Structure 1
């Protein structure tokens, strides 16, 4: 269990670095705090500023392509005119199904200039899930890249698009000058866009900060995805809060992004930060641990966007004398576990970890402004940490029906107050929005956003992520945090990655702990005795996983989230080929490999846990 504490001395130690960023911080405070949703401060305006100020500096780097800010602005204007010519107006939406490539950013920018929102489709979705995601928004058009045409073809007759030419196609080329041929039933969008004006479109009903710019989807790991509208305000807040307040981005900076652009961390946080500095974003379609540092050197990147698992993959690579041969000094993202935080910084020479806490739909965010280890930082938004019912998203209410704050240092459910300044944009489904809203929490008429996450204060109003609600299980009358248990297992030095969850055993109360892990050396026999001894030394008996599944890979979503529900459904079954499952049987002092006969004995209640 982490014992990290943030002290005043930690903050004072960081002051020299903070003071060097002061001009950027002063600008960032303005943009982060802008309240007027009717202000014509939008994504398009931010791009136009960079085009005027840094016309010839790179805006996007991709493979061997370099697109300047002026070229990008003109390109987005052409897209805006095309959409306008097709009868799309402010308040309409289009669905976007593209890999990480410049065309995706250009479409988001161009659509935003005429008030059309882009639904950012998860590129791993197919069939019914993809159909659901598209129909949820009721877009006018679907823009699909050649690389994902099969996904679109599989559902084209099931989706509801409200336009006479609903299917727009982009070849998998440099579409600024190579249009390719569109398949039957699709419009060659790049060819049409090339014939439009590159001047800024003029609207009778201008786009304002409160208008929806994008729809971002939940990952759908626990059911069908939900769509969360993201206004231009979210880009402006990321521009000021992450790009200026935290990273102090400059024109010479290059941010390397392999995270999928359909996700908020990449689109809002990473691109928003780049916009703030007039910097460049270097894109790669998908993350590659082996190509990562070569790309960092190729693009001369100074910053990169991360999620915690990405950092783990990099650490799992064999150490090299090239590990510090780069100019990368900053990183921004979320989910970096305390167990690898300092090791990552030390090995790769990274100075600043701008860890953040936020969600696509939420109204609250935290940022590690002072660059302190093992914290998501602090927030200026109004929030509270409250008592909650274990294993649920539900807060505890007292006899008067009010919520109760936890004591300082205790884990609590994070909730953010919903105000005019800190609006909760919610989901497209009103019932889902209402389900995440807590009313009459502390007084009559108040409303709070329920994040569903447990955090704790570790000093100086800095928080540390503890657990995601539902990722806690109860065994032997004790509550076990999966996140903290994963951190312990990480520290064994025996695994590349590990995911912990609770599974049901017939005729027992609660859920028994189970870990699915990938060994450091998947080709060698895994030493379960060594793991058991380590767990016994570092955990109370009730927290030692009862079951261990050893595998070569753990399936994840496109945003590096584990498909925990699917793994959990497997339980301790032996249904997966080439996978070994072990159990800590009662009265034994180690793990025993399961056989079909032993599984049947457990299922029938013959083994009494």
Structure 2
């Protein structure tokens, strides 16, 4: 960390004039972010109806050649809500939703929201055992599947607890052409055709604690957990980002390539557009080479990002028209300090609304002051405490209390659990309790363990440092080491595995690496079979990049935990180990044995991970 990143009082005061000019909107957003009224109708459905009332003919959603006004989009969601109600679905029920980034996904989520039905946002890259787990975990009463995910569902359908009410959305403009639903599915576009386009009364029956959707997170251990994201939490993000931080107008267009099964796209970016009835422009997939062409095509003025996205854009060859765009604001998380200022300068970006939050967490930071190299400011109660990495636990003093770090120091981020900052938890109460520290600074207090190392840089600002425990971040996704270990151990020929994240120079996050013990010599092992198996069972970002072969018993601690710190330090460096190491290079379909020349290429940036 540079000492220049420490926030000083003169720096804070220099930002005051800009904040004062936006004070009315920020006050409104702040009030919404602190709402505790359990009887006031609120949430996504209410917000869409409000945006429709103030800008009915403005563009709500743009995708490829489709442009939907707020009036059209709202009516579509109403028809979905009306139909779902007609088949007996009601407030409190859950629907599994597996659709890639396209308008059908957004209309489905709003339709569910208006009815009070919780949409379980399945990670569209999940396959096999993980998909079955995520689907059955939330006990859905129905499933809405995009044509592009039907094959993935059909592979495991016999293992799904739900046996009826499978709906289909064609992978095309389903408002004009509903397509043909496969056997075993009802065509949702055809079913809703004659349903009511009027706002349902149920829209005004969603309140602070009512579930809006499930977002799946790897949390700190095990298979994906379904995190309850309720309407009140959405309302707080709507106020905090839409009005206070991002501050878009009805003439702004925010471009989002981030997957909408994650909160950064679904909540932060979309709420920022809805707040003042601006436009959301969505892309199915991220393309580094086509990104700025899309920005110009749709006249976008903002975009959402995760750190990898900005790095990929920054690595593209410079062009004379790099600054030929209307983007003034970007919002997201994970922009690396090493490219932060250069990225802003190259593309002519004024504001970086970097944020820190998690789907399940109760503490958030936002860069409302527009400083460089920080996740920003937090108005809620948090603490950064000293952490012992060897013992894998916070440090406590002689009185049994945890110890806050000093300015410039890094430690474990905790969020205080209060009425205003509750921890809604997971579907599993036991997992919820494991995420809570009690008696932290005084008897009876409770704090959420974020699992993240953060640095205190003063005036309630922080920097993200690293992720702790059994989860690491790669390709903008959280990877559960336990989940990957379970999948690896299920392959014939692997006796035992230990998974951890390792740093590759000039990349963001940590790449997956697995130490494996095999039933045969590594020269005879079936790497092709392993790769085919992993591609079927894991999302691409969770497949280990490196395999370290271990011929002996795995080294463990006194409490029988694998010694991951030593493995992380040695990573794939051949000079630090006698083990054979294999690597899955970008663009290759199978692992190959790592040699010194290839390692130099990896360390020197010759391969684009």
TM class by shorter chain equals: 0.7 to 0.9
Aligned-residue offset at 1:448: 0.8
What CA deviation, in whole Å up to 9, does each residue of 1:142-191 have, x standing for no partner?
11000111111111111112x7x421111111112211111111011111
Structure 1: runs of 5 or more not aligned: 474-481, 491-495, 507-554, 585-590, 595-609
* 2:60 paired residue number: 59
Aligned mates of 1:566, 1:67 — CA distance in 2:
41
- The 1:11–1:225 alpha-carbon spacing in structure 2 relative to 1, beyond 3 Å, is same
Does residue 581 (structure 1) correspond to residue 588 (structure 2)? The answer is no
| 1:138 positional shift | 0.5
- 1:560, distance to aligned residue in structure 2 (A): 11
Q: How many residues were matched structurally?
A: 523
CA 1:391–1:332 in 2, change beyond 3 Å: closer, same or farther? farther
Paired residues of 2:516 and 2:548 also in contact (CA < 8 A): no
Structure 1 pair 568–339 and aligned structure 2 pair: CA distance change class (3 A): farther
Within 1, Cα distance between the matches of 2:203 and 2:9? 52
Could you say which residue in structure 2 is the equivalent of 1:493?
none
Note the alpha carbon deviations across 1:245-294, whole angstroms, 9 max, x for none: 11111000100000000001110111111111211100001100011000
Aligned residue for 1:414?
A: 413
The alpha carbon displacement at 1:410 in A equals 1.3
How far is 1:235 from its partner? 1.6
Superposed counterparts of 1:449-460, under 5 Å: 449-460=448-459
Contact 1:239 1:276 in 2 (8 A): yes
| Structure 2 residue 282 is the aligned partner of structure 1 residue 286 | no
1:231 maps to 230
Within 5 Å, which residues of 2 pair with 1:311-390?
311-390=310-389
In 1: Cα distance, 2:431 partner to 2:134 partner? 15
User: Structure 1 residues 24 and 264, CA, compared in 2 at 3 Å: closer, same or farther?
Assistant: same
Where 1:215 maps in the other structure, the secondary structure is strand
Q: Would you say the 8 A contact 1:466–1:484 is kept in 2? A: no
Which runs of structure 2 are paired with 1:192-591 in the superposition (5 Å)? 192-203=191-202, 206-219=205-218, 223-390=222-389, 394-470=393-469, 489-490=505-506, 499=510, 563=542, 567=546, 572=572, 573-576=580-583, 581=594
Query: Does residue 5 of the first structure (1) align with residue 6 of the second (2)?
Result: yes
Q: Please tell me whether residue 151 in structure 1 is matched to residue 164 in structure 2.
A: no
Q: How far did residue 385 of structure 1 move? A: 0.8
Q: Identify the residue that residue 106 of structure 2 maps to in structure 1.
A: 105
- Asked if structure 2 preserves the Cα contact closer than 8 Å seen for 1:383 and 1:414, the reply is yes
132-141 vs 235-244, which deviates more? 235-244
| Contact 2:401 2:439 (8 Å CA) reproduced | yes
Instruction: Write the deviation string for residues 524-558 of structure 1: whole angstroms up to 9, x where unpaired.
Output: xxxxxxxxxxxxxxxxxxxxxxxxxxxxxxx999x
Structure 1 match to 2:115: 114
8 A Cα contact 1:415 1:449, kept in partner: yes
Offset at residue 136 of structure 1 (A): 0.7
Give the 3 Å change call, closer, same or farther, for CA 501–90 of structure 1 in structure 2.
closer
Contact persistence 1:391–1:470 (CA under 8 A)? no
Deviations 1:292-332 (A, max 9, x none): 00000011111100000000000110000111111011000
Q: Given that residues 331 and 354 in structure 1 are in contact (C-alpha distance below 8 angstroms), is that contact kept between their aligned partners in structure 2?
A: yes
Contact 2:502 2:511 in 1 (8 A): no
Structure 2: which 5+ runs fail to align?
A: 473-499, 518-533, 550-570, 573-579, 584-589, 603-609
Residue 443 of structure 1: CA displacement?
1.9
Give the structure-2-normalised TM-score: 0.80
Q: Kindly tell me: are residues 66 and 501 of structure 1, through their superposed partners in 2, closer, same or farther at Cα, counting changes over 3 Å?
A: closer
Q: Matched residue of 1:252: which SS?
A: coil
Cα distance change on mapping 1:502 and 1:194 into 2, 3 Å:
closer
Structure 1 counterpart SS, 2:157: coil
Change over 3 Å in CA distance of 1:40–1:448 after alignment to 2 = same
1:106 CA drift (Å):
0.7
In 2, the alpha carbon distance for the partners of 1:219 and 1:257 equals 23
Relative to structure 1, the CA distance from residue 501 to residue 483 in structure 2 (aligned partners, 3 Å threshold; closer, same or farther) is closer
Cα distance in 1 for partners of 2:340, 2:203 equals: 51
Q: Tell me, yes or no, if the aligned pair for 2:216 and 2:226 is still in contact at 8 Å.
A: yes
Post-superposition offset of 1:562? 5.3
Q: Match of 1:92?
A: 93
Aligned to 2:481: none
Shift in Å at residue 88 of structure 1? 0.8
In 1: Cα distance, 2:329 partner to 2:540 partner: 23
| Alpha-carbon separation, structure 2, partners of 1:568 and 1:429 | 32
Partner of 2:139: 138
The answer to whether the 8 Å contact 1:556/1:563 transfers is no
Q: Once the 2 structures are TM-superposed, how far is the Cα of residue 53 of structure 1 from its aligned partner?
A: 0.6
Give the SS at the match of 2:254.
Answer: strand
CA 1:400/1:117 → structure 2, altered by over 3 Å: closer, same or farther?
same
2: CA distance, partners of 1:561 / 1:411: 31
The DSSP-based 3-state class of the residue aligned with 1:156 is helix
What residue is the counterpart of 2:28 in the other structure? 27
Q: TM-score, normalised by structure 1?
A: 0.80
